[in-house]
Every structure is written in structure tokens, then in C-alpha cells.
Structure 1
Amino acid sequence: MINLRKKQPIVRSNAPIALVGGGQIGPDDLNLVMIRAETVVAADGGAAPLVESGRIPDAVIGDFDSLQSRHKDQIPPDRLFPIREQDSTDFNKALRSIDAPLVLGVGFLGGRLDHQLAVLNTLVERQDRPCVLLGEREVVFHAPPRIALSITPGDAVSLFPFRRVSGSSRGLEWPIDDLVMEPGGQIGTSNRALAEVELTADAPGMLVMVPRYALDQVTQAFLSGQTGHWPAREE
């Protein structure tokens, strides 16, 4: 459902929503997210790969500085939602404007490092908006209060703190219990699964990276309602 009222989410759904950006998109990436979501939203220039694939986005959100007229003209005007301020990225504008149990994002990883860092920062900033990003080799998400995943033993499970955060784990080669992780300090990249992995976090701020094949597991974990959720940050 599209909401036209200001200061309210632009798109609402009780099911996962696919969000497409204008970054690197692998050959199967669009299909992987679109078969898992009925509603498809584009963040600014992310409308281009959708239109070129034959799928008109249900909504386009952003400052429209990357949306070329040859693509924009194919989209009904009532699906265009410009947000002109320049204090946030198009990914941020789109994510904060979607109200759904989960957002599946593609076209936000790879390419320019500064763009990727801004995207990852938004995952933490918008801690109340569950979002899973599909990368070339992994999926990335902001750790909820708890999550359990069946990762093949020996495969990588990486944790990276964007804020000071602690937690606990089961099924990791190097447990995180009693560790305090923070930017510029202790991090948890290149850990490995030994068995089913269970993670808990005592506060928002931790990013989790697991193999790409775990996309459906991560999706189902969030949709199960068993992960818990973080409240919106005060602005």
C-alpha cells in the first residue's frame, strides 16, 4: 500500500518488500529478491535496472539526482516520491519510508567504498527497520536482539560493530561472550561456524555477515518474530 501522507511511511506492507539501489547488481540478484517480495521499491537510480528488466517499481524514493528521464518517463507519476534534502543518502530516504516486517535490498553493496560505508551506517541508524542486503558472496544485516542460523561448519560468520556492543554466541569457533566490541577496538570478522549459530546482542549496533546461501534462513528468522526488534532511535 502506498501512503501519500507526509511524515508517514510512503510504502506499507505486511510482507517483505524488495528495495533496489543503483549499485552493482549480479545476474540473479533481482530475481532473488523479487520472487520473495510482491512489492518492489527503487531508491532513486535503482529504478533503472527494474525498468530495463521490464518491472515498473511500485514506488521510487530519493532525491532523483540519479534517475534519468528515459527511465523516469516510463514510471507513473503517482509512483514517484521525491525527497529533496541532501543530508541523507537515497538508501536512507527509502528505508525510513518503508514500513514492513523486512526489507530485502539489492544494488547497495559493491562499487564505491564510501557508498558502501554509508549504506552500512544506515543499517545501524535505522535500527527499527529490519533490512537484509544481498551481496556478491554474503548477506549483511543489522543484528537483532537474537538470531539462530544453520551455517555450514567452517563457513565465515563475521561481526562488525558500528557502536560499542556486547553479546553472546553459540556455535562459533571464537565465542564472543564477555567481549566488548566497538569501532577502533575489538571486532569479530572472519569467525567461523562450528554448528548452528546462535547470536544475542545487548544493544543495537552490530552488523552480521553470513554466506549468501543463508538468505532464506535470515529472512525466515526475521519473519518468525523470534528475533525481537530494536526501537527507533530518537531524532
Structure 2
Amino acid sequence: MEMVTLLGGGELTPETVSELLTLAPNLVVCDGAAARALALGLTPDRVVGDMDSIADATRARLDPATLHEITEQDSTDFDKALRTIAAPLVLGAGFTGRRLDHELACYNALVRHPDRPCILVGGHDICFHAPRPLRLDLAPGGRVSLFPMAEVVVSTSGLEWELERLRLAPWARVGTSNRARSGPVEIAPEGAGLLVILPRASLAAAIAALSSSAR
């Protein structure tokens, strides 16, 4: 199956949607984002969520067969979508900006589902979970931030300030605002829980790295 573009209700621009659909042509939206997709002239292949944010007028314009309703209230619509999408990689937009609590919940979902690779694409940055070692071809001097959502030991190569089996934790040491040196960057976490945050311009490199590490 091809990659999937997933849209949410956060900050979103037509340019971002167009870029992601070029890379990942299958469109899935969380329920409240269905109206935004239709306004852009797009028909979602699937709408996922508890359907509490979708208007009757929007629902009427959608094929009922594309509505995937999950009524439980213990998880977010992003979590529901992520765990039900079977794809080699998901590119998510509209999940950053606006409400910080929703954004944090998305990062939580990334870590809770290490078997569902996903890159969240924002206006300036991208973010993804790295549960296993990966290799990134990044431009020298590019920002590389590592943020732990759990206690995890990390080693790196190719960074300005290397990590040698450094123990990171959200309540202790983190690895933000590092920089790439010349050559590839290798990040090797010993277990799940590490978020990688890169500039938006590094999206292609992140896609290549995650696609390679999943093999």
C-alpha cells in the first residue's frame, strides 16, 4: 500500500496538503477535518473518529462507506486514525499549532504506537517517533532535536554534540538544539520513546530514513 496523508483540525495550509498528497496520495481525515478537505476540493478515502466534530451537511457530502466511526472517548481522533491505518508511513498535517493539549496528545500517540510510523508536518518543523536506529542524510548545520517521551538511552554519530549511551528522560536530560555535521546522522535509541524534531526542509530525508529503518 502507498503512504497515507492524514489531516487533522490544527494549523493547515493548502500548500502543505498539496505537498503531502504528492508524496502520499491516499487521503484519510480525522472527523473535524472532513469539511476542510471538501473545501479544498478533496474527497477523503476515509474519515476516522468519534464523529462529534462533523456537521450534518459535511456528512451528507461523504460516501457513508468511508466513515469509520469509533465511539470510545479514551483516545483522540489522531490516535484512532493512527492505529487503524495500515500503511508503510503516514504523513500527518493539521496536528500542530492551535491547541497545545491536542498537539501534546499527538506526540503521546506517536510513542504509544511504534508500529505505526508517522511524521507530523508543521509549518516550521516535522516530528516523528524513532523506536529503532535510523540514518538521516541531513544538510550540514541543520538543526536536530531529540526529545524523550520516556526514559531511553541514546547514541548518535554525525552530530555536533554526540551522545554516547546518554540516558534521556522527559524529567531529566533532553537532546534539543543539536546540529548535523557533514555526512549522515545516525541516531540509535535503545528502546521506544524518542521523538526526533527536524526543520520542515528535512521531510524528504525523514521519509527516506523511516522507510529504510522499517525494512
TM-score range, shorter chain: over 0.9
Structure 2 counterpart of 1:218: 206
Name the % identity: 44
- The answer on 1:51 being equivalent to 2:31 is no
Structure 1 counterpart of 2:100: 113
- The answer on 1:142 being equivalent to 2:129 is yes
> Quick one: distance in 2 between partners of 1:178 and 1:168?
5
- SS of alignment partner, residue 84 of structure 1: coil
- The answer on 1:192 being equivalent to 2:183 is no
> Quick one: distance in 1 between partners of 2:60 and 2:175?
46
Query: Cα–Cα, structure 1 residues 170 and 220, in superposed 2: closer, same or farther, change >3 Å?
Result: same
> Quick one: distance in 1 between partners of 2:214 and 2:11?
31
Structure 2 counterpart of 1:203: 191
Shift of 1:128: 0.8
Structure 1: which 5+ runs fail to align?
1-13, 230-235
In the alignment, which of 68, 74, 88 is matched to residue 61 of structure 2?
74
Shift of 1:223: 2.2
- The answer on 1:125 being equivalent to 2:112 is yes
> Quick one: distance in 2 between partners of 1:176 and 1:51?
46
Q: Deviations over 1:46-77 (max 9, x none)?
A: 21221111111000000111112222211111
In the alignment, which of 46, 49, 53 is matched to residue 62 of structure 1?
49
Shift of 1:144: 3.7
For 1:121, the aligned partner's letter is N
Structure 1 counterpart of 2:71: 84
Q: Which has the higher helix share?
A: 2
Does structure 2 conserve the Cα–Cα contact (< 8 Å) formed by 1:170 and 1:198? Answer: yes
Does structure 2 conserve the Cα–Cα contact (< 8 Å) formed by 1:146 and 1:228? Answer: no
Matches within 5 A, 1:93-108: 93-108=80-95
Does structure 2 conserve the Cα–Cα contact (< 8 Å) formed by 1:101 and 1:222? Answer: no
- SS of alignment partner, residue 109 of structure 2: helix
Matched pairs, number: 214
Does structure 2 conserve the Cα–Cα contact (< 8 Å) formed by 1:162 and 1:206? Answer: yes
- SS of alignment partner, residue 150 of structure 2: coil
For 2:171, the aligned partner's letter is G
> Quick one: distance in 1 between partners of 2:143 and 2:25?
31
For 1:118, the aligned partner's letter is A
Shift of 1:228: 4.1
> Quick one: distance in 2 between partners of 1:219 and 1:194?
20
In the alignment, which of 139, 148, 161 is matched to residue 148 of structure 2?
161
Structure 2: which 5+ runs fail to align?
none
> Quick one: distance in 2 between partners of 1:228 and 1:74?
37
> Quick one: distance in 1 between partners of 2:46 and 2:95?
17
Structure 2 counterpart of 1:181: 168
> Quick one: distance in 2 between partners of 1:126 and 1:24?
23
Does structure 2 conserve the Cα–Cα contact (< 8 Å) formed by 1:138 and 1:211? Answer: yes
> Quick one: distance in 2 between partners of 1:73 and 1:228?
39
For 2:68, the aligned partner's letter is F
- SS of alignment partner, residue 165 of structure 2: coil
> Quick one: distance in 2 between partners of 1:221 and 1:121?
21
Q: Deviations over 1:105-146 (max 9, x none)?
A: 010011111111000000000111000110111111001412
Structure 2 counterpart of 1:31: 18
